[in-house]
Structure 1
């Protein structure tokens, strides 16, 4: 089996593809996988780190602005899209995949479109509640469109080829054990752990407010444990900013600031509360682990899809949603205190989050990809 997986720009369009690759290798050890993405996206870090080859294609997303600058940007984007499809065809002719899997993001457009024009089976995975523009443009000619929310299925018009599978989850998340994870970090039944992060690259605005929130925790001498991942961009200035606002991390070892949480599966499993963005891949992991969350959706993503993701989980009772415009240091601090003070509520939130967990998502996706390969071109 030869798979060609494409998607990128953000981790939410890369980690599902990695999960699919690992699951296929588990089911069919002879499977070979190549990835394709943008030269600028986070896939350039995540994919090679997992040991897969990555082909890069120069392509940029479209601007929604109708200003002269936006129009010039879109002219460049259209020109690059044409050349990117041409390059993608050459890459696909060399790779000869049995199927091309598009996981979203503008980086995936050229490869999936090229595969469709070459007659190669294509499967789209849409992880967000609101389908992205790339999915909308490519869905008509795809063999299968796999979605993670019922809302997405409805917005794409339904039909037999649009299948609700749920999002694939990394193997380490599936294997995580809460009791063992808490023992690993030396946490007793009475201890509480908050884990917070804004993504692998961080988010400047939210990290600025988190610096103030951490300072409040230090000044108020909170008893719970808090681990915050700054991301690469804020690794130096966030601790400094927090100290300028009164944080003394040496005097409060229960409050930890780190660039990246490498044992994220165990940290999340051990956590009593997770504070983070609302990307679909992250939500899938929260639901699988049954962890309560305070979600601050990014307002900078296409069509505000993170808030729609978060609201879907909030509707089930699995999270509390705080909009970024309201998320100043004091509000963040107060929200965390209020949630931690009600252990019964946290337990209910974690239980309710599991309602959206797709325990068999990887197997469903696997079977649908096999179906697409076997039935491609058949009426």
Structure 2
């Protein structure tokens, strides 16, 4: 797809992103890419005051505008407050649109972007949505068919949008290193021997208590030592998260062949060095697994909105690329048994990795940007008629 007209000049983009880093970071990646394509491009983000999105956006060097928004409550008595908050947010966004005059509005989902999308539709500004999860969020499902384009990360998402919705399969915008990193080079980089059977566990920046407890239980019960007796080259690396990281790292510090870190900053190298990945199934994590071609044990976060982590994991499990374990069943005993089973079945691990790789979508950010530019050019052509 070659679209040049809109990019001959700097464009103006208003972005709505918030709630979690899974919504915010893809928006930052898209914004950064747009700036590399044309330094005159102007971008404004909208989100909640004193929020995670404000912190990440400001650190990334972008202008940030406050809006009011509230998630749709299950309690009817709270819906009046929801209507008032979001109506106020829509009015704020309409003023921002009037002042900034954007060429396009981009939302990466969550309730935080809803007032901006609604205001854009009222003002007849082109709107592009990006959906990270296999099961689209309520906001994107609500607005999808009214918008100019919806970029999806998994083919499985298409069925949740109305037939007339302009859905474009792009993938999640993730770092290109996940497509190029190799196991030998990654092991050399982090100082691991090539003969080690390496398990990497990650529970996100705050950690996953279930994963941490399973590893500590594995050690405390003596089952880890049993595994090491049978498989002396076994090694486990766990990113505990910052919430109880220091305490957990201290508890695991004496366990042989276990490397516990509060946070792993070079996630690509550590994941690429693994024979098996164990972790939550956020949209970006699943996309990284696919890019790497990594066999995975996925433990969906049970309290995620609409249980979307389960549906992300399902995409990989359905093609044999991953095994799903419910959070409640991820015990030290389960961890012991699944390690023992997979370490003895190298052929299955190779096939899981091959199937995972088949879901990898390189060039997602560029494809999203090209879709964005096409929407802008199509809008300009309509206005010229």
State the TM-score, normalizing by the size of structure 2: 0.86
Partner of 2:188: 183
What aligned pairs does 1:168-179 form with structure 2 within 5 A after superposition? Answer: 168-179=173-184
The alignment partner of 2:199 has SS state of strand
| Counterparts of residues 312-327 of structure 1 (less than 5 Å) | 312-327=315-330
Aligned residue among 32, 52, 56 for 1:22: 32
Aligned residues: 367
Deviations 1:204-226 (A, max 9, x none): 44443343245456544634232
Q: 2:377 aligns with which of 357, 374, 378?
A: 374
Give 1 or 2 for the bigger CA radius of gyration.
Answer: 2
The partner residue of 1:284 within 258, 264, 287 is: 287
2:341 to 309, 328, 338: 338
1:121/1:350 CA distance change after superposition, 3 Å = same
| Counterparts of 1:74 and 1:197, CA distance in 2 | 37
- Residue number in structure 1 paired with 2:258: 255
1:349-364 pair list within 5 angstroms: 349-364=352-367
Instruction: Extract unaligned runs of 5+ from structure 1.
Output: 65-69
Output the TM-score relative to the length of structure 1: 0.88
Are residues 1:153 and 2:154 paired? Answer: no
**What SS class does the counterpart of residue 328 from structure 2 fall into?**
helix
Per-residue CA distance 1:36-61 (angstroms, 9 max, x = gap): 23346543443344333433433231
2:61 to 51, 66, 73: 51
Specify which of 72, 95, 100 is matched with residue 62 of structure 1.
72
Measured in 2, the distance between the counterparts of 1:160 and 1:278 equals 27
Q: 3-state SS of the aligned residue for 2:318?
A: helix
Map 1:193-208; keep pairs closer than 5 Å. Answer: 193-208=198-213
1:354 CA drift (Å): 1.0
**Deviation larger for 82-91 or 273-282:** 82-91
More displaced stretch, 122-131 vs 28-37: 28-37
Cα 1:229–1:286 shift into 2, 3 Å: same
| Counterpart check, 1:121 vs 2:110 | no
Structure 1 57/211 Cα, relative in aligned 2: closer, same or farther at 3 Å?
A: farther
Task: Give a deviation string over 1:147-168, Cα, whole Å, max 9, x none.
Answer: 1222321221233612222222
Change (3 A) 1:225 1:319: same
Q: Which runs of 5+ in 2 are unaligned?
A: 1-10
Alpha-carbon separation, structure 1, partners of 2:299 and 2:53: 24
Give the secondary-structure state (helix, strand or coil) at the position aligned to 1:137: helix
- State the Cα RMSD in Å: 2.4
Contact 1:12 1:282 in 2 (8 A): no
Stretch of structure 1 that moved more, 350-359 or 178-187: 178-187
Q: 1:331 to 1:49 in 2, by over 3 A?
A: farther
Structure 1 pair 355–212 and aligned structure 2 pair: CA distance change class (3 A): same
Between stretches 114-123 and 42-51, larger displacement belongs to: 42-51
SS at structure 2 position matched to 1:232: coil
SS in 2 for 1:356: coil
Q: Residue in 2 aligned with 1:329?
A: 332
Measure how far apart 1:172 and its partner are.
Answer: 4.0
Q: Which residue does 1:67 correspond to in 2?
A: none
- Secondary structure, counterpart of 2:237 in structure 1: strand
Tell me the residue number matched to 2:107. Answer: 102
Distance 1:257 1:82, change over 3 A: same
SS at match of 1:316: coil
- CA contact under 8 A between 1:15 and 1:281: conserved in structure 2? no
Which residue of structure 1 lines up, in the alignment, with residue 248 of structure 2? 238
1:79-116 CA distance string (max 9 Å, x none): 21111112222333344332211111111111221222
Distance 1:266 1:50 in 2: 23
How far residue 324 of structure 1 moved from its aligned partner, in angstroms, is 1.0
Deviations, residues 269-305 of structure 1 (Å, cap 9, x unaligned): 1121111111111111111111111101112122222
- CA gap of 1:290–1:164, structure 2 versus 1, over 3 A, is same
| Partner secondary structure for residue 285 of structure 2 | helix
| Distance verdict in 2 for CA 1:130–1:47, change over 3 Å | same
Q: SS at the partner of 1:228?
A: strand
Change (3 A) 1:251 1:12: closer
Distance 1:113 1:293, change over 3 A: same
